[in-house]
Amino acid sequence: MKNHYFLLFALCFLFACNIQYPIMQQTDASTGGMVATGQPLATLAGQQMLDKGGNAVDAAVASAFALAVVEPSMSGLGGRLQAIVRLPNGEVHGVDATTEAPINYDTATTPIVRFGYEVIGIPGVVAGLCKLLEDHGTLSLETVMQPAIKYAKKGFPILKGEAFRHTFAVDELKQFAGSRQYFMKDGRTYKEGEKWIQKDLANTLGLIAKGGRDAFYKGEIARKIVADFQKNKGILTLEDLANYEAKSSRILSGNYRGHELHGLWVPSFGALTIQILQILENLPMSELKDADWASAVSQAINLAYQDRYKQMVANTDSIVNALTSKTYAKQQAMKININGASLGDLQFNSDNDPEGWATAMGHTTHLSTADKNGMMVALTQSLGPNMGSKVASPELGFLYAVTLGRYLGVYLPGQRAASFISPFIITKDNQPFMALGAAGGSRIVSAITAVSTRVIDHKLSLDKALMAPRVYPDKDTIQLETHKGTGWKSAFTAELEKEGFKVKIIDKPARFGRVHAVLFDAKTGRWIGGADPDWEGAVAGEKK
């Protein structure tokens, strides 16, 4: 798919569905705002908010709710969320709405399982989106949710990738009444192009649109969630839901070659993203091409990932300052040997990592938006693995994320699950430059840093930076992206091996993160949007 980055979504399936896919592509430019998401209908939802006069937050919230309908294998109302916002006046804010361990959660007695009611924590997406809109949006909740409600109520033709992911989870989905009801038809999952109507989800969304976050956490939806959980060994209570809050995130800052870096502290992994870039700042990245670039980036990632558990200890200034320190980054960079080494002592030990950190293909979604006033939003939301817990409650229509069962580690009651989610904003001279983020588990951070250095150091256009092949270090081995349409040439592989690196060829798409980004071109005054060519995403600029 990567050789088709001007992927057009035709006005298809008109005979079967009232919802039409807009003609969109995976790169676009506009003097107004811009929306980039992992699904064309979600992009359209955000674009419609910009056309109504809404800002980048209005567009982001509309797109996020729409993704809960059209791409539920990746995210949804029962999942977690992290977002970072750059306001027109230059202020940067963040929202932490990740899932949380219930107050009566006991790791000693809870079974280690991968799906089912036992793995479900307190959802955060609805609280997070409502907070984001209340704090920084301009349109009403009912307005921004209308596209999502429309898609669920009227139905839409399911895309190939989404249909495949449902098929991949069919054995687990069959085990739960609600999941069978909403995600299966005649004993099977929906096929590509079939019209998919989700009336109960439309009703759930409608209740939220009218009643806000309280409709989900304290009202009818909460009561239905708890009633279902009580019947199925779940541990969520009305108290758990009522007490959940989306929080303001701690903002981290750094600098990369005159560009200001903005990320989020735990439970986001923005510190690692900043650290990697600041390590690379000490190397001549603009001069490094191909094998040398792959070598430098892989070693920097390995060095930073050694520190991933340090940030889990405590939210202290000393730890934050140490991980984002330029002095520390310079010390780490001195360990890198670009032209002849092995990962050796630089490798991070992933043997004890939670399953969710080490998965070969992380299942998450990211969106980025911007408006003509310079507001930027990077928002990442997730269910964990493909289709999360595989559980949907009857009468509600949405899936829940995996939080417990050690998928993301061991947590105490009330603790929030940390992950590699890292929505990121870059400014230049305190003016808008780029908003981006990724899906892909532990490859989220590596994908963001790869695209950032391609744009800043190699001066690639955003679409070419997204197309450029990526790397990921796995212990003592450098994994190389080589699938059709992109990839490292055999000569580069041979050069890395000659220099002493172990190399593993990965020829499958979407294994090195999926980045959706917006970039401001100060010379032309235009916003550029880019959707990852390994996915079915799309971008669209404000029409006005």
Over residues 315-364, the pLDDT tens digits come to 678 888 889 999 999 999 999 988 766 565 555 555 555 555 556 555 89
- Report how far residue 9's alpha carbon sits from residue 15's, in angstroms, rounded to the nearest whole number: 16
Q: What was the pLDDT predicted at 351?
A: 59
Residues in contact with 163: Cβ distance below 8 Å, sequence separation at least 6, in sequence order = 189, 190, 191, 192, 194
pTM of the model: 0.94
Q: What was the pLDDT predicted at 332?
A: 94
- Report how far residue 232's alpha carbon sits from residue 253's, in angstroms, rounded to the nearest whole number: 44
Residues in contact with 329: Cβ distance below 8 Å, sequence separation at least 6, in sequence order = 275, 278, 279, 281, 282
Tokens of 11: 């006005």
Q: What was the pLDDT predicted at 308?
A: 81
On the 0-12 / 13-18 / 19+ scale of CB atoms within 10 A, 15 is exposed
Instruction: For residue 312, give the amino acid letter.
Output: M
Reading the chain (544 residues) residue by residue, the pLDDT tens digits are 343 333 344 334 333 446 778 888 999 999 999 999 999 999 999 999 999 999 999 999 999 999 999 999 999 999 999 999 999 999 999 999 999 999 999 877 767 788 999 999 999 999 999 999 999 999 999 999 999 999 999 999 999 999 999 999 999 999 999 999 999 999 999 999 999 999 999 999 999 999 999 999 999 999 999 999 999 989 999 999 999 999 999 999 999 999 999 999 999 999 999 999 999 999 999 999 899 999 999 999 999 998 887 877 666 788 888 899 999 999 999 999 887 665 655 555 555 555 555 565 558 999 999 999 999 999 999 999 999 999 999 999 999 999 997 766 778 899 998 889 999 999 999 999 999 999 998 999 999 999 999 999 999 999 999 999 999 998 889 999 988 777 787 888 899 988 888 999 999 999 999 999 999 999 999 999 999 999 999 999 998 6
Tell me the helix, strand and coil percentages in the chain, rounded to 5. 35, 20, 45
Tokens of 500: 């002493």
Sign of the four-CA dihedral 137, 134, 151, 437: positive
**Residues 363, 346 contacting (CB under 8 angstroms):** no
- Report how far residue 173's alpha carbon sits from residue 407's, in angstroms, rounded to the nearest whole number: 18
